Amino acid sequence: MGDVAVESNAAISEAVAELNMDSKPSVQDPTENPTPNVAEDDDEEDFVDPWTVKTTSARGIDKAKLIERFGSSKIDQPLLEKLEAVTGKKCHRFLRRGLFFSHRDFNWILSRYEKEEPFYLYTGRGPSSDSMHVGHLIPFVMTKWLQDMFDVPLVIQLTDDEKSLWKGLSRKEAMKLARENTKDIIACGFDVDKTFIFSDYQYMGQRPEFYGNIIDIQRCVTFNQVKGIFGFGDSDCIGKIAFPAVQAAPAVASSFPDTFGENKSVPCLIPCAIDQDPYFRMTRDVAPRVGFPKPALLHSTFFPALQGAQCKMSASDETSSIFLTDTAKKIKTKINKYAFSGGQATVEEHREIGGNCDVDIAYQYLTFFLEDDEELEQVRQDYTSGKLLTGELKAKLIGLLQEIVADHQKLRAEVTEDVIDEFMRPRKLKSRFETKK
C-alpha cells in the first residue's frame, strides 16, 4: 500500500486541488471528462453535496454544469446503445429519459461484461426515517434493473452509523430504521441469492475484513482532503471526519469475504444520486493506493418536491412528496393540492397558451414513473398545446402513483422477519461470473 499522504497545513485550495485528482482522465476510461472540478463558474446557483441540494431554478439542477464541475461524463446515446447491444434489452426508462444522466467508467464496466470479467453492484441508503417516499425508490429501481440485466452480486449498505453521527439517532433507533427500510428495499424485488443488505453497526463486528478496509482507506485520506471534499470544519466531530471511509469500503470486494474471499480486484458499479459523488471521488482517489480498482458510477438527478424542483424535499415534511405509506386518498389530495403546476390560471388561458412541462411537477413525476414513451410524449404534446388540462394531467399521475404505491405496500407486507434475516446474513452471493479467489 502507498504511503499515507504527508500531513500539512496547506490551504483549502490545495486540498481541493488534491481532490480533483479524479477529474483527470481515468486510466480505466480514457473518455472520462477531463474538465477539472474546481468551481470556475461564477454563478453559484446550484449547490450539491451529500447534505444539501439547492437550486433556484424551477427546472431543477443544471445537469450539464454538474457534469462539468464534478468532472464526470454524460450518459450519451452511444453509451446507451452499447448497453442495449451488450444486454440485448431496451434501456430502462430512467436511462432513456436522462434521469440517470452522468457516469464514471460505465463504458469500462460494459466492456468487462462483454468479456465475462466479473464486477458487482453496490448501493446504499442512510436510514433516517421510516417513511420513505417514492423518490427514495429511484436508485433501488435502477439497481434492481441492473441486477436483472447483468446477473451479478449486489451489496446494499445501510449507513445507520452515519445517521447517529449526523442526526444524533441512538444506535438502537438507527438500527431499527435500517431494518424498517430494508423491508422497502426488499419490496423492490431484489434476488435474495444475489443480494446482501447490511447495517454498518451490525456488519462491522461480523466481518473484520470490512473494518480492515475502512482502516486502510482512512490511512490514505488526510483531514485536509476531507475538508476540501466535504467541507468539514474544526468543530465537526471526528466521527464525521472518519465516516467517508465507511461509505468507501464496500467498493472494495474483499469487504465481502463470503463472496470474494481476499480478492480486491473485482470492481463495482455504484448507482446513486449525484449528491453522493463526493464520497466516491474520494474512493476513486484512494483506490490505487489501497490496491483496488476505482468504482464505476451511474448518477441520477434529484426527485423534485411536489412544490417544485427548487424546493427542498424532506422526509419530515408530509406535504413535500408522496410517501410509500400514503393511502390512495392521500395521494390524490396531495397531488391536487400541492403539485406545482405549469398550467395557466384559467381554462381559457390554458387552452390558448398551453402548459409548461419543464416546471410542471405532475409531468416531471410522470417522466419517472410512466413506462410508455409514446404515451408520455402524447401527454407532453397535449399539455404543451393546451389540449390537456392540469386537472387531467394530475388525474393521470394520481392513478399511476396509486397503483405503484399500492403494489409496493402489498409486496412490503409480504416481507417477513425471516426474509429480512436472510437478506442481511453474510453469505456467498451468486454471480454469472465464476469469481476467482
CA angle at 339 for the pair 334 and 340, rounded to the nearest 5°: 155
The burial class, CB within 10 Å (0-12 / 13-18 / 19+), for 17 is middle
What distances in angstroms separate CA 361 from CA 10, 103, 353, one per listed residue?
A: 45, 25, 18
Beta bridge partner(s), residue 270: 297
* Closer to ligand TRP by Cβ: residue 159 or 344: 159
The residue range among 118-126, 203-211, 381-389, 429-437 that interacts with ligand TRP, by the rule CB under 6 A, is 118-126
* In contact, 361 and 308? CB cutoff 8 Å: yes
Nearest distance, CB of residue 139 and ligand TRP, angstroms:
6
The residue range among 107-115, 123-131, 187-195, 307-315 that interacts with ligand TRP, by the rule CB under 6 A, is 123-131
- 263 to 282, contacts with ligand TRP by CB under 6 A? 270, 272, 276
Query: Going by C-beta distance under 8 Å and a sequence separation of 6 or more, which residues neighbour residue 64?
Result: 74
d(CA 132, CA 145) in angstroms, rounded, equals: 20
Nearest distance, CB of residue 307 and ligand TRP, angstroms:
22
Q: Where are the alpha helices (DSSP H) in 134-276?
A: 137-150, 160-167, 171-186, 200-206, 208-219, 223-230, 238-242, 244-248, 257-260
Among 126, 153, 295, 308, binds ligand TRP (CB under 6 A): 126
- 155 to 194, contacts with ligand TRP by CB under 6 A? 157, 159, 162
Nearest distance, CB of residue 275 and ligand TRP, angstroms:
8
For position 247 contacting ligand TRP by CB under 6 A, the verdict is yes
Among 92, 125, 264, 299, binds ligand TRP (CB under 6 A): 125
Q: Among all chains, which residue has been given the C-alpha cell 485550495?
A: 13
* In contact, 271 and 121? CB cutoff 8 Å: yes
Nearest distance, CB of residue 1 and ligand TRP, angstroms:
23
Residue 432, C-alpha cell as written in the block: 454469472
The residue range among 31-39, 120-128, 303-311, 327-335 that interacts with ligand TRP, by the rule CB under 6 A, is 120-128
User: If binding means CB under 6 A, how many residues of this protein chain bind ligand TRP?
Assistant: 11
- 4 to 63, contacts with ligand TRP by CB under 6 A? none
Query: Can you give the binding site for ligand TRP, defined by CB under 6 A?
Result: 123-126, 157, 159, 162, 247, 270, 272, 276
